[in-house]
Amino acid sequence: MDPEELAHLVLQLAVLLMAAKLFGLLFKKFKQSEVLGELIGGMVVGPFALGAITLPFIGKLFPVIESVGEHVSTLPISTELYFFGQIGAILLLFLVGLETDAKLFIKYGMKSLGIALGGVVLPFFLGVWGTMMFGFADNIMDTSALFMGAIMVATSVGITARVLSDMYKLDTQEGVTILAAAVIDDVIGILILALVLSLAGGGAEGGDGFSWVQLGTIGLKAVGFLGGMTLIGWFFGKKLSNVLLKLDGKSYMAIAAAICFAVAAVAEMFGLAMIIGAYLAGILLSVTKVGKELEEKLAGASHLIVPVFFAIMGTLVDFQAMGAVLVFGLVISVFAVIGKVLGSGLPALFTGFNFLGSMRIGIGMLPRGEVALIVAGIGLSAGIISGEIFGVAIMMTLITTLMAPMILIPLFKNPKSGLKNPPEEDNIEVIEPYRVLKQSPHFILAMRDFLIEEFEKKGYELLRVDKIRGITEIVHSEDKFKILTVKRDNGILTIDCSAGSTADVDAIVASGLDHFEQAVASLKTT
């Protein structure tokens, strides 16, 4: 590999990473999905936009790659860069798996099942139907149509969660229902991808399409892999966790990543997508002790690679191809909205929510984001879907993910309850500033950590930890009227809480002060 070629790749990487971060931060500033910013960053600098301009010394930053050796390339960018990005996708799905909140799933899973299923089935069939309607597929078993369906399925709950959390609404009935439904949604979406991908692979090998024997074999292989891995995880997950925790943080992170890569590669051998393997590996480790630690370490490390993945997805968007299918794209986007608002909203009407609550849930499930992008990328790179369908998928992702927060915020600002029979006290539960402690940053940090541990001992659990802004949201596991946030900004600790938990806050702060007082006293006497 000659140094010049290598340097050009490194320059491409530099530009992609920079564009991803700058657009990502810009989007974040306007309360939009960072992922979309990263995607658009890649679109802007990629081979179909600025990257096509011939520069002095460098030439075109992103010349469109047309062939690899003797083969026609399915991708307009180099395989080296694409591989780098794929590692990002695998790490991301591993992280999504690690972040899976099994507790929430068990608690609200049954209630959310209908909402999740409706939000899977309707978008899938609308996607298939839309693709046929515009002549990109002949019948319902056409892989292009099935792939479009698969792309439409998975909710990307990140942006909804951030909007609700900013409004302190993540703990509402609507909030937890959305979170739980999105988990189920992810799992089903990824299973659908597995099935569609297997069908596509089978079709390509077997010649003319579909046979029940083939489908059976494919299903057996997939179930065999998922079952086998789950068994391995069940039996060895805890042991692995204990071994990993004996190592330093950097080492166990690297080893866990290596395991995730291996499981991803094996998944592909069983006819599944690599991200399915990575996701499964994440879920299996999420229930072990090392899981939460890993999540934190990897989230840091993956920040060098994951944004590059989304920017690379952006570089694949051929605007000309996308322009030719603008109407198709708009219709699919409308279908994507209908699919979730009706698909998830209708079942919500039958599980205790009123019209307002159902709308909140339907819109909350709207953003497609990362999983749709990953699935679309797999289809394009494997040659299963065309550049046009890829463009449509990107358009749909952009529109749904941009729309959601704009509608969600007014819907949740409405003070009315989203439940058919709201409990009388439902409006009392307001969080207000309660106590502020000012001291040296060292003391405040220690105090914060001590207090949070004490809350956990008293039956509270952590709803959300925002390390960047130093906010911890805490709710009592049995009494949802006891809710509070602890915010640390250097030497200032602010505790906001609901009326129900002021007594607990007082008691725990007092015990914290006693603890530190005794600590000093005991050390002074020795």
Binding to its own copies (CB under 8 A): which residues in 128-157? none
The residue (of 54 and 522) whose beta carbon lies closer to its own copies is 522
Q: Scanning residues 440 to 459, which ones bind its own copies (CB under 8 A)?
A: 440, 442-443, 445-447, 449-450, 453
Does 49 interact with its own copies (rule: CB under 8 A)? no
Name the residue nearer to its own copies (CB basis): 263 or 348.
Answer: 263
Q: Give least dist CB 491 to its own copies, A.
A: 10
Token pair for residue 79? Answer: 């395989």
287 binds its own copies (CB under 8 A): no
Which positions from 342 to 381 touch its own copies by CB under 8 A, shown as an x/- string? Answer: ------------------------------------x--x
Could you give phi then psi for residue 415, rounded to 5 degrees? -75, -10
What residues from 86 to 105 belong to the interface with its own copies (CB under 8 A)? 86-87, 90
Considering only residues 74, 112, 165, 400, which one is a binding residue for its own copies as defined by CB under 8 A?
Answer: 74
Amino acid identity of 234? W
356 burial type by CB count under 10 A (0-12 exposed, 13-18 middle, 19+ buried): middle
Residue 301: CB partners within 8 Å, gap ≥ 6?
Answer: 91, 253, 257
For position 66 contacting its own copies by CB under 8 A, the verdict is no
* 102 versus 513: smaller Cβ distance to its own copies: 513
CA atoms within 13 A on the CB side of 343: 27
In angstroms, give the least distance from the CB of 487 to its own copies: 16
By CB under 8 A, which span of 40-48, 101-109, 209-217, 293-301 interacts with its own copies?
Answer: 293-301
Binders in 484-513 for its own copies, by CB under 8 A: 513
Considering only 44, 215, 301, 334, the residue that binds its own copies (CB under 8 A) is 301
For the chain, how are helix, strand and coil distributed in percent, rounded to 5? 70, 10, 20
Q: Is 39 in the site for its own copies (CB under 8 A)?
A: no
Could you tell me the smallest distance in angstroms from the CB atom of residue 431 to its own copies?
22
Q: Is residue 275 near its own copies by the rule CB under 8 A?
A: no
**Cα angle vertex 328, ends 327, 334, to 5°?**
90
Under rule CB under 8 A, residue 464 binds its own copies = no
Span from 120-128, 153-161, 163-171, 514-522 in contact with its own copies (CB under 8 A): 514-522
CB of 143 to its own copies, least distance (A): 14
Q: Quote the least distance from Cβ 510 to its own copies, whole Å.
A: 8
CA atoms of 366 and 338, how far apart (whole Å): 9
d(CA 146, CA 321): 20
Spell out a b/e string for 411-435, using b for 16 or more CB atoms within 10 Å of the CB, else e. bbeeeebbbeeeeeeeeebebeebe
- Over the range 370-393, which residues count as b (16 or more CB within 10 Å of their CB) and which as e? bbbbbbbbbbbbbebbbbbbbbbb
CB of 488 to its own copies, least distance (A): 13
**In the bound complex, what is the minimum distance in angstroms from residue 248's beta carbon to its own copies?**
5
Q: Is the separation of the CB atoms in 307 and 92 below 8 Å?
A: no
Q: Is residue 475 at the binding interface for its own copies, with CB under 8 A as the rule?
A: no
Site for its own copies in 383-412 (CB under 8 A): 383
Shortest gap between Cβ of 229 and its own copies (angstroms)? Answer: 15
Quick count: other Cβ atoms within 10 Å of Cβ 327? Answer: 9
What is the closest distance, in whole angstroms, from the C-beta atom of residue 198 to its own copies in the complex? 11
Q: Number of residues in contact with its own copies, rule: CB under 8 A? A: 92
3-state SS record for 351-386: CCECHHHHHHHHHHCCCCHHHHHHHHHHHHHCCCCC
214 is an interface residue for its own copies by CB under 8 A:
no
Task: Pick from 136, 261, 455, 460 the residue near its own copies by CB under 8 A.
Answer: 261
Site for its own copies in 422-441 (CB under 8 A): 437, 439-440
Positions 161 through 200 that interact with its own copies (CB under 8 A): none
Contacting residues for 87 by C-beta, under 8 A, at least 6 apart: 261, 305, 309
Check if the beta carbon of residue 485 is closer than 8 Å to that of residue 430. no
Taking CB under 8 A as the rule, does residue 382 contact its own copies? Answer: yes
Q: Sketch the per residue contact string, 305 through 324, with its own copies: x for CB under 8 A, - otherwise.
A: x-x-----------------
Closer to its own copies by Cβ: residue 384 or 396: 384
- Using left for φ > 0, alpha for ψ between -120 and 50, and beta otherwise, residue 209 falls in left
- Whole-number minimum distance, CB 88 to its own copies, in Å? 11
Beta strands, E only, 35-193: 54-55, 59-60, 67-68, 71-72
DSSP H or E run through 472: strand 471-476
Nearer to its own copies, 21 or 169 (CB): 21
Compute how many other C-beta atoms are within 10 angstroms of the C-beta atom of residue 17: 18
